[in-house]
Chains A and B, each alone.
Chain A
Amino acid sequence: MSAAALAALLRTPEQAPHLPGEAWNGIVAAARAERLLATLASHLQGVALPEAVGAIFADARRDADRDRQLALWEADRAACALAPLGIPVLLLKGAAYVAAGLGAGAGRMIGDLDILVPRDRLEEAEQALLAAGWEWVKSDPYDDVYYRRWMHELPPLIHRERDRMIDVHHTILPLTARPRPDASALLAERIDLGGGLWVLSPEDRVCHAVAHVLADGDLAGGLRNLWDIKCLISDIEDMDKLYRRAALHGLTAELSRAQRLCDHLFGTGEGALRLADRFFLARLLSTDGWGRDSRPLLGLGFYIRSHLLRMPPLMLARHLWTKWRRGHRPS
């Protein structure tokens, strides 16, 4: 399984010179599908590699450098629009990692800009962004109402000219989710990077990454999220402090699971996995040597689960039914 080979290579990069040529095709395809190619490339710098792999890695590192540049520019533009109103632009995920120079930022591919603003400033922020050239991504009114009432973010905005999306969050999990992270605590502990930009505290960064991968999503791209968590945890000095913080946010179980999975995938591989962990693991490692999801039904299970986590079952049924009627299908 190529995703497993990819994880193994991230765990022990020294293995790279011993890999046969054909194995690289599967690893590169899986890495691309998991958006981990540039991460692999920066992790394997200095290791002896076949020339063709070196060229592919050089391209990937350049792309990540460019992503970093563009992410920082988007953050700058958001700060330009919101700082005059005294609204802190708190960066989340990839943009935060590169802005703060974290290990998790090395080779990171970054898509949309994710920021956190206080819930009581949300409308002001929305107006300021619209005035500065962002506009709504066209969506149907049902999604819009759903977003505003229940989700933890504004409906997506895209910049008119730069064509880049911004997601404005007011907490880190949907309002209907079972764990209820404490948004005001997140903002209270924020760290100033200068230039109108802020990031979460080291402990809150881990909690957000954990919430994002285990308590929110369907685990698509989960391998990369776990790699992020692994990097972020290695920046933590006091693990007790981390677990206390997770308890505050109601994320203790999720953090434990994330740590077990990270240890298994990227650490010593010795920690005992629970039964449920193995389902997560199977889902995380389902990408094959052609970059395809080799276990589509397992993916479907997680898609439904991700909605269960976000919504009470009755709402879930109504939501999925409405989306089904409109023609959305999980891919």
Chain B
Amino acid sequence: MKHQLTLAIGPAIFRIGSAWRAPIDALRRLYASYPRPEEGAIADFTVRLEPAGRGRRWWRPSVRIAGDHMLPEAAPMALRHGLLAAEMGMNLQMALGWRRHLLIHASSVEKDGRALVMAGESGSGKSTLAALLGQRGWRLMGDEFALLDFVTGAIHPFPRLISLKNQAIGVMRAEVGDGGRFGPLMAGTPKGDIAHLVPSPDAVAKMKEAAPPALLLFPRFGLPAEMRPIGEGETFMHLTQASTNYVACGERAFHALHDFVTRVPTVAMDFSSGEEAEAMIADLWREQAR
């Protein structure tokens, strides 16, 4: 493929090929602080950004996300959203193909050598919370996937560009002084406005440092502040649904998830602002440390 880039993020290496230069340039700029894989590094996954149909490389360029693992019905994207396509492509490879850890759709941050895992659907606020905490004394481990070790039960970092949507973009711009840590604003995507935020230098530097989980949150943004514990059965069921590879990983996943659920306290947390959430999390964190 004409343009390509190899990226190392956490335990995974991605080889990204593109028919167009722009998405590769954008990736190269935003991942510039990440350790560069050596020449000829063997990638775990291949992602391809290719023209969606004859002639769509030049005329109204249309990007199809392809690679080792693909979704045949996926709608093509406009070239100006190429960076988003690349990120979605990497997500897809992990979701469908990663087997070395149990993947949970969750963000995670670390403090005092222990991990806080925040699971939830799109719009729950887990990515924005992780980004916010990452600026306020916590170390970001990831915003999209939490990687659970089958043997040790630790959470492994997978710090990709943080995907911020709509209002969250403004919130984080105010929070993060360095404008250079932001990718271009992509307006009018199927999920609204999106901009990417590069994780802090600390998060990138420690991207191989795992931490045992101490607390699992199910955050819900946009509701009056409230916290309540969630039982083990309900948690187990939610997490099997929140895991893209639980079924594929078989027996190991069963053991790892059972261990996780029986050892890590789980709390549902409703909140209406970042400050509220930060305060409730600080309380919970103090609680679990005792």
Query: Which A residues lie at the B interface, using CB under 8 A?
Result: 20-22, 24-25, 28-29, 32, 50, 52-53, 55-56, 59, 62-63, 66, 69, 290-292, 331
Contact = CB atoms under 8 A, between A and B. Distances in A.
B40 A20 contact: yes
Contact of A62 (B40, B66, B68, B99): B99
Contacts of A21: 39-42
Contact of B40 (A22, A28, A55, A66): A22
A24 B42 contact: yes
B268 interface: no
Contacts of A25: 15, 42-43, 46
A50 B44 CA distance: 13
Contact of A52 (B44, B67, B68, B72): B44
Given A32-B68, A59-B99, A62-B99, A290 B43 contact: no
Q: Chain B: interface secondary structure? A: loop
Interface residues on B, range: 20 to 34
B250 interface: yes
Nearest to B38: A21
Contacts of B41: 21, 52
A141 B202 CA distance: 59
Contacts of A62: 99
Interface string B131-148: 000000000000000000
Contacts of A53: 42
A292 B43 CA distance: 17
B125 interface: no
A22 B97 CA distance: 21
B42 A59 contact: no
B100 interface: yes
Contacts of B44: 52, 55-56
Contacts of B40: 20-22
* Most chain A CB within a 10 A radius of its CB, from B42, B43, B44: B42
Contacts of B50: 292
A71 to B, nearest CB: 14
B248 interface: yes
Contacts of B17: 290
A290 B42 contact: no
B48 interface: yes
A220 B108 CA distance: 42
Contacts of B100: 55, 59
Interface in B35-91: 39-44, 46, 48, 50, 66-68, 72
